[in-house]
A and B are shown apart, each in its own frame.
Chain A
Amino acid sequence: MKNIPGYGRGPVHLLGVIFCYILAIYAGVKLFSNVSLWIALAFPAGIFLHDFVLFPLYSGIDRGLKHLQRRQQREEKVSVGWVNHVRVPVMISFFLLLAYFPIILRLSDDRYLYFANHRYLSIPLASGYSGTGSWLRLQLLCSEAAL
């Protein structure tokens, strides 16, 4: 389809853009008239945290593991690649932690009321708070899943 001069894309594209912006702005006005605009800061903060902290960290570690694997293969210490045996359980654990961190780290509101009777995560309240139990369970679960 022919591009609209000065716009650089076709008419269907323009209609899509108009629809998109009207809906997004309408919903955005509703959203931010009910909740604080500060919440929108979570997004740039998330981008920064991921792209400039987490991403260099995990891609650096991944690169390191791959170099190690390649060196071991060259020196014929190992015959098959093992790097995915590390990546996969780490990734699954990461997703579980990302999704369920409030429960795993016991950050939830009124956690004692909720978790006092929790089948798996319950801990004696008298001994105070300790997240180790569920951490171990999570790791155990992930290793099982990986196997």
Chain B
Amino acid sequence: MAENNKGLMRRIGDTLRDWGPFRRDFWYSPIRGPWLTSFFSLMLLIVLPIVFITGLIDHVAWNPALGGTNNRTPDMGLLGFLTGLEWPTRPIWLYRLTEGIHVVLGISLIPLVFAKLWSIMPSLYKWPLADSVGQALERLSILFLIGGILFQMFTGLLYIQNFVIINNFKFNQLHFYSNWIFIAGLVLHVLVKFPVMVEGLRARGVRNELQKSLSETEPEPREEGRLVSTDPAPPTISRRGAIAVVAGSSLTMFALAIGQTLGQRWSWLAILSPRAQSPGEGPNDFRVNKTAEKAGISPEQVGPGWRLELVGNTHQMLSREDLLAMPLYTSSLPIACLEGWSTGNQDWEGIRMRDLADLAGMPNAEKVLFESLESTDAVARMAFMRRNQFQDPLSLLALRVNGVDLSLDHGYPARAIVPATPGNRNTKWIYRMTFMEEV
């Protein structure tokens, strides 16, 4: 019986080995081989950590320890090891930079990821699948790696385009947890393959190979792995040509994505960016994530009857006139969204948040809660900020921008604006501010 089973397995194995992509002569590209794969790997190894770290920075920038909707992954357990960190307010462009890098680089590396996958495709079709338990586990972990990176890319892309994944909470759970699955696969992969990569590049040299034209391009010598074709076709592109195509594709993605982070002057470049629209006229003509219409703001809510409820040791109802009668300050600050886009500095005018803390009788408050009139997005309806954020002299409850009243889309009658803080936390259409003693 066992004998029979063994025979059957061998027969299946023999059949598979000679079938389609499992056949070595099925693959014919003359430029596939350890050198090209190692080159793409090296590029990814440089870029991926930057995208990873700037992603973690976004996690910290929301101050998840404050709870509420600041923590979009409430049961992250041990993966929340960065949660307690306090996010700074300087430099004022900090979040604009880190989140811009995260999204723009993340989009730009798509062609590189696919090039790498193309270059290793023959090695995914290998029979027998592994020679030992160790190799079997290692090969299985490739699922975490490839599945993880594709999942990361598509959750990000779909989210910034408001397609399928439109809920901020759901998005963060998908993007945050699957990131760790990817990192698990990546750590093992780098541990095992780093020496292979170095060897692959060394064998032919980087500069040496990049100097070869199409006529000088020849297949690599047979290797232990399965990347090199046993039956290569004549080359139609040099290795450096293939690299240039990938780099050109990445640069195209980069050029189209970077336009949304450089302010109004460059927004013509962001042809395919989701928020290339202009929501207002004149001084209010800079980007928003969400219009008042989308947020479900009705005119009565923000008419003369609007009051700011200021809660602390005292409880006050302040009209817009009351607020405008207080000392007003101007801060020049950008808006930077989780989606990667940002605006240049805008001149916001309003009341210092620290003055409001004093007015509420809570100069020693540790955090503040903003509540918004908006009704369609549960995450943006409330936001917490830490003491270092609302005590910053540049942090305002803004009433005006660039010399005019805020437009409805920019959060009229009043919105929060705090340096280096994610746009989503800078609550618009505020109706209540509550200062609290404990974090």
A residues with CB within 8 A of B: 3-4, 6-9, 12-14, 16-17, 19-24, 26-28, 30-31, 33-35, 39, 42-43, 46, 51, 55, 66, 69, 81, 83-84, 87-88, 91-92, 95-96, 98-100, 102-104, 107-110, 113-122, 137-138, 141, 145
Contact = CB atoms under 8 A, between A and B. Distances in A.
Contacts of A145: 248, 252
Nearest to A31: B177
Contacts of B135: 8-9
B393 interface: no
Given A27-B181, A88-B248, A117-B278, A137 B21 contact: no
A21 B185 CA distance: 8
Contacts of A81: 236
Interface residues of B, number: 70
A23 B294 CA distance: 39
Nearest to A122: B277
A8 B144 contact: no
Contacts of B162: 102, 108-110, 114
A99 B107 contact: yes
Given A31-B178, A34-B177, 6 more contacts: A13-B134, A26-B77, A34-B170, A43-B151, A102-B157, A102-B164
B184 A24 contact: yes
Contacts, number: 183
25 contacts: A7-B134, A8-B131, A8-B134, A9-B138, A13-B191, A20-B187, A21-B137, A21-B141, A31-B181, A34-B170, A35-B173, A69-B236, A84-B236, A92-B252, A95-B249, A99-B107, A102-B164, A103-B274, A109-B162, A114-B162, A114-B277, A116-B277, A120-B276, A138-B272, A141-B271
Main DSSP-derived SS at the A contact region: helix
Nearest to A27: B180
Given A46-B150, A99-B110, A17 B248 contact: no
Nearest to A120: B271
B240 to A, nearest CB: 13
Interface string B179-203: 1110111011001100000000000
A113 B291 contact: yes
Closest 7 CB pairs of A and B: A8-B132, A9-B134, A102-B163, A27-B180, A31-B177, A24-B184, A23-B184
A26 B278 contact: no
B147 interface: yes
A26 B141 contact: no
A108 B143 contact: no
A36 to B, nearest CB: 10
A135 to B, nearest CB: 12
A24 B144 contact: yes
A95 B110 contact: yes
B279 A117 contact: yes
Given A13-B134, A87-B245, A95-B110, A27 B188 contact: no
A7 B132 contact: yes
A128 B268 CA distance: 25
A102 B158 contact: yes
Given A31-B181, A34-B173, A103 B161 contact: yes
